[in-house]
């Protein structure tokens, strides 16, 4: 497995990470824990050293899963987790809003350390920008945690360019995590250029378009009511039918390269910048192996030009999130 460094930091990880959210949260019912532990450990065997989770996934259950799975590999892998939600103390899957007050951030870190079974959180992201708390205060709280040895690196998720700049001035930001793929490219306008200017790594989540770019989903696919994609405008049957043109493009390129649409989609993301580290999620070992295969897939200049030209003529149908959720992105 190739490795990449996140921006100008010392954090070096596998070129492809593993997003673990769907094992416990959002993509239908939680999956079998022993099977998911085996999958995470299989990822380590395939050279993956970068794993992504969050306290809100479950909540808490995904961090516990990741902590148990990776405990035997402590020191060999890097774990990223996230803070920033007020969670229902009853243990339900409800969250009560955003909360990035410094005292809450520090308490969240202690809980994450316990659940992940580690002495230090490698990368600690603010999950969503909290408009009620100055980002300077958030960065200051993480700076204190870094000085205390509880956190290695500071990250932001779905933050806008100005927020990134303000946070970075207080505590250097190692990575910005945001949705990015061939069908979600708005961060190219200002977030990615800001990261490049400041030497910050970029971690694309949902680089396979929440599974759509694999080609496994079409307008006839039935999404379970517990699958959050059933609430997304981009996943209505009509939108899926219209957006299929993008999958067809990836499949056309893949046929020439002896690669799947998913591998072409991931190789395209990897080709954008050497400090991009996408974190596709999966719950299936064969999909994990397929994704890892994308790291060695080389797209030529002609391939990339074809993808760029053809995709520019495809209008993606449907917003990526409902309006209320989109407003939480801080962009």
Strand partners, 4: 13
**Predicted local confidence at residue 26, as pLDDT:** 86
Per-residue pLDDT of the chain (331 residues; tens, 9 = 90+): 999 999 999 999 999 999 999 999 888 889 999 999 999 999 999 999 999 999 999 999 999 999 999 999 999 999 999 999 998 766 556 677 899 999 999 999 999 999 999 999 999 999 999 999 999 999 999 999 999 999 999 999 999 999 999 999 999 999 999 999 999 999 999 999 999 999 999 999 999 999 999 999 999 999 888 888 999 999 999 999 999 999 999 999 999 999 999 999 999 999 999 999 999 999 999 999 999 999 999 999 999 999 999 999 999 999 988 877 766 655 4
Residue 75 class from Cβ within 10 Å (0-12 exposed, 13-18 middle, 19+ buried)? exposed
Both structure tokens of 323: 């309006």
Cα 191 to its chain centre, rounded Å, is 15
Give the DSSP letter of residue 54. -
**Predicted local confidence at residue 13, as pLDDT:** 98
Active-site residue set: 57
Contacts of 272 (CB under 8 A, 6+ apart): none
CA distance 279 to 295: 12
For the chain, the maximum distance between any two Cα atoms, rounded to a whole number of angstroms, is: 55
**Predicted local confidence at residue 93, as pLDDT:** 60
**Predicted local confidence at residue 169, as pLDDT:** 98
- The reported pTM is 0.94
**Predicted local confidence at residue 329, as pLDDT:** 56
Q: Which helix (DSSP H) or strand (DSSP E) does residue 121 occupy?
A: strand 121-126
Q: What is the DSSP string of 241-269?
A: HHHHHHHHHHHHHHHHHT--HHHHHHHHH
Domains of the chain: 3-329 (3.20.20.100)
Both structure tokens of 93: 């899957």
Question: In this structure, what are the phi and psi dihedrals at residue 124, rounded to the nearest 5 degrees?
Answer: -115, 110
Residues 58/31, Cβ–Cβ less than 8 Å = no
Q: Which ranges of the chain would DSSP assign to H, the alpha helix?
A: 33-45, 61-70, 102-116, 135-147, 161-170, 191-198, 237-257, 261-272, 285-293, 301-312, 323-326
**Predicted local confidence at residue 198, as pLDDT:** 98
């Amino acid at each position: 497995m190739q490795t990449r460094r996140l921006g100008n930091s010392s954090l070096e990880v596998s070129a492809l990470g593993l997003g673990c959210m769907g094992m416990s949260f959002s993509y239908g019912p939680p999956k079998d824990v022993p099977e998911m532990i085996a999958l995470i450990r299989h990822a380590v065997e395939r050279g993956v050293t970068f794993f992504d989770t969050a306290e809100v996934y479950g909540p808490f259950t995904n961090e516990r899963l990741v902590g148990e799975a990776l405990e035997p590999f402590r020191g060999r892998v890097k774990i990223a987790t996230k803070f920033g939600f007020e969670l229902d103390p009853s243990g339900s899957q409800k969250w009560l809003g955003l909360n990035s007050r410094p005292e809450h951030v520090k308490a969240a870190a202690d809980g994450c350390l316990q659940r992940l079974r580690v002495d230090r959180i490698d990368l600690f992201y603010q999950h969503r920008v909290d408009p009620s708390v100055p980002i300077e205060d958030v960065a200051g709280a993480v700076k204190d945690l870094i000085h205390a040895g509880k956190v290695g690196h500071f990250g932001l998720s779905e933050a806008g360019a100005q927020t990134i700049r303000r946070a970075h001035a207080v505590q250097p930001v190692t990575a910005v995590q945001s949705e990015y793929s061939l069908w979600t490219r708005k961060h190219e306008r200002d977030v990615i250029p800001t990261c490049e200017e400041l030497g910050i790594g970029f971690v694309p989540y949902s680089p396979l378009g929440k599974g759509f770019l694999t080609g496994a989903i079409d307008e006839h696919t039935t999404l379970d009511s517990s699958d959050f994609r059933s609430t997304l405008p981009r996943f209505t049957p009509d939108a899926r039918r219209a957006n299929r043109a993008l999958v067809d493009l990836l499949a056309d390129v893949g046929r020439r390269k002896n690669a799947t649409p998913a591998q072409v989609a991931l190789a395209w993301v990897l080709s954008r910048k050497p400090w991009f580290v996408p974190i596709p999620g999966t719950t299936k070992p064969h999909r994990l192996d397929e994704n890892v295969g994308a790291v060695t897939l080389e797209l030529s200049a002609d391939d990339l030009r074809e993808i760029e030209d053809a995709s520019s003529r495809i209008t993606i149908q449907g917003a990526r999130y409902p309006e209320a959720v989109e407003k939480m992105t801080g962009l």
